[in-house]
Amino acid sequence: MKGSESLHKNVVIGGRTLEIEEVLLAARDAVPVEFSKDPEWHRKIRAGAEFIDRALKEHREIYGVTTGYGQSGIRVVPQELMLDLSKYLVRFHGCGMGEILPEPLAKAVMVVRLNSLAYGHSGVRMDLLDLMRELINHSIIPVIPEEGSVGASGDLTPLSYVAAVLMGERDVFYQGKRRQTSEVFKELDIQPLTLMPKEGLAVMNGTSVMTAIACFAYQRAEYLSRLASRITAMVVEVLRGNKSHYDERIFAYKPHPGQSLIATYIREDLGYHSADSKALNHHLQDRYSLRCAPHVIGVLADALPWMKEWIETELNSANDNPLVDAEQEDFLHGGNFYGGHIAFAMDGLKNAVANVADLLDRQMAFMMDPKNNRGLPANLSGATEERLCISHGFKAMEIGTAAWTAEALKNTMPASVFSRSTECHNQDKVSMGTIAARDCLRVLELTEQVAGAVLLAATQGLEIRIRNGDLEHHHLTPQIRETLDAIRGECDFIEDDRPLEQTLRRIKLMIAEKAWALYED
């Protein structure tokens, strides 16, 4: 079988730092994964596995290899049972529940785990890495339930589904169908692995599920920060807002970089220059949902760089236990499986994103209310005068926006503060990083729904202004015209009331897929 063809270069793993975008290219766009050709990297992988073999021959004590797991680590395991110990670890963790991870996300889990194991401090064989790469490149994806991890020791239960597939067990997605792994392996002549004494633990004991989710969350949040800026500029035009609120001098006096960047985006979308400040003031001061938009979206923009740093540090780490130092022939028993950094980043990200949802919801309400929307019809109805009494335009959409925003805000409760002592109090402090990451994805999904609704409403509002002669299409900047025309390609002007669910679903999907190029870096 051949890997998927792509315009992108292959994603190289081994002896180098992997970036978030590369994880997504491999997971979402089927860019093939290949290993480094550096002989030193290959030597390091071999050395780790060979050191474990020697240590076992020397009867050295190794947690999870010659002992049981967790609180059961006081149990001594004889050599003849060590292979069964690894196999049993995988099997008894097969208790995941909840929804199944989407295929691209489960594939990202594979890529992230492969990259961690490729640092050579987990003691796995090259055969295991080769099989993981083969599964990734052939899009044979483990079926992974999303629930069951407390984020320390890593993502044991969800990652057991990866380990089980390497053993030829449980289910995979292949060519759009859920099938038994054993059937797919037989069909493709793939040999399952017998996991060596440390390999089950090495595959499972890490932060790869939460980190894979964080990679997707980061990219979606970064795009939302741009989209919210474009939407804000459109709403300013709809409401004939005061463009001087985005004057560059204001943001020079309070120079948070992300906040200044968002103000620049909005300012450029509006075609505003400081020299215009005295001529363009329709209203001295707009509501905070317009005036303070850079300050709200800017928090997200300023948080994203350090969140990216934390995610990529976790991505490029050995987060197993115990770790192997083959050079000094030592086993390091520690806590690199603890997902605290991802937990904190995801708790922070969902907070910043939900605040953007709240901002957009307020902009939506501003446009709907005829007492405040500066001459627009109630609910942005496009009905003719004689049918206006039976038309309600975006009324239900605004209520939906309020509901989605409320749910997003509800989910901002930080998961990382809900540590529970587990496993006979051996795991007495845990990160809940995977729950935080899953919550963050939900907040992003809800915020994308809000953004889609407000984008549709702003497009309607602009067209009403144009039809009423309040605004000339050619007076809008090229970038706003481009967005307006793109949305009009998906949704005609709403004159008579009609269902908008399918339209909103299309727009939301386009947002999630970053359908529109927004601002040059």
CA nearest neighbour of 171 among 147, 145, 195, 142: 142
Q: Give 287-311 as a 3 state SS string.
A: CHHHHCHHHHHHHHHHHHHHHHHHH
Q: Answer yes or no: 63 catalytic.
A: yes
Name the helix (H) or strand (E) containing 177. Answer: strand 177-180
Cα–Cα distance measured from residue 443 to residue 36, given in angstroms and rounded to the nearest whole number? 37
- Enter the DSSP assignment of 102: P
Task: Give dist(CA 319, CA 112) in Å, integer.
Answer: 11
Strands 11-13 and 33-35, by their bridges, are parallel
Q: How many CB atoms lie within 10 A of CB 514?
A: 15
Helix axes 156-166, 82-92, angle to 10 degrees: 120
H helices within 81-125, ranges in order?
82-92, 103-117
Distance separating alpha carbons of residues 298 and 227, to the nearest angstrom:
12
Taking alpha carbons only, the member of 224, 196, 253 closest to residue 440 is 224
Compute the distance between CA of residue 492 and CA of residue 460 in angstroms, rounded to an integer.
9
* Residue 410: its H or E element: helix 395-410
Residue 195 burial (C-beta neighbours within 10 Å; 0-12, 13-18, 19+)? buried
CA distance 246 to 297: 13
What tokens does 429 get? 């402090």
Q: How far apart are CA 144 and CA 100, in angstroms?
A: 6
CA dist 38 and 15 (Å) reads 8
- Rounded Cα gap, residues 379 and 337, in angstroms: 51
Q: Exposed/middle/buried for 422, CB within 10 Å: 0-12, 13-18, 19+?
A: middle
Rounded (5°) CA angle 5-8-12: 95
Return the structure tokens found at 7. Answer: 């315009």
CA 103 to CA 107: how far, in whole Å? 6
Choosing from 63, 223, 253, 288, the catalytic residue is 63
Residue where the block lists tokens 């950094």: 341
Catalytic residue positions?
A: 63
